[in-house]
Amino acid sequence: MKSPLPQPTRAELAILRVLWKQGRCTVRQVHEALRETQEKDTVYTTVLKLLQNMAEKGLVRRDERDRTHVYEAALNEQKTQRDLLRDLMDRAFGGSSASLVIQALSLKRATPEELEEIRKLLDKNEGGRK
């Protein structure tokens, strides 16, 4: 049993991001949050259906005690981010995390604070586990 949870699809990931940010949410809350961020509008029942699918897959937990169900993410945000990165690393960077990082750094200028954090991580990485 306990087959590993499937990776979220694009639409599912957008929903997960709402749940990660806002915590427990009703369908309506998710729907309205998406309305604000998303460029393309989706309809209430689409969000409902997606959340139902996600509950069935185990990507979210559903609290059915009230008539209005409440959903929460069942996936860890950082873990999901790493899984997605690993997938992309394998598919587009030949498994090299370094070249991925190098390309990523050219994407957008980070703030000095962020750069500092990255530096610290590099140092820790250097002396870290072999």
The answer to whether 31 touches 47, Cβ cutoff 8 Å, is yes
Closest contact distance (angstroms) between CB of 6 and DNA is: 7
Establish if 40 lies at the interface with its own copies (CB under 8 A): no
Q: Which residues of 24-63 are buried (b: 16+ CB within 10 A; e: fewer)?
A: ebebebbbebbeeeeeeeeeeeebeebbeebbeeebbeee
**Binding partner of 40, given DNA, its own copies, none, CB within 5-8 angstroms per partner class:** DNA
Q: Identify residue 97 by its one-letter amino acid code.
A: S
Binding mask 54-83 for its own copies (x = CB under 8 A): ------------------------x-xxx-
Among residues 40 and 129, whose Cβ is nearest to DNA?
A: 40
22 binds its own copies (CB under 8 A): no
Are 28 and 44 contacting, i.e. CB atoms less than 8 angstroms apart?
A: yes
1 binds its own copies (CB under 8 A): no
How many angstroms separate the CA atoms of 92 and 94, rounded? 6
Binding site for its own copies (CB under 8 A): 10, 13-14, 17, 78, 80-82, 84-86, 88-89, 91-112, 114-115, 117-119, 121-122, 125-126, 128-130
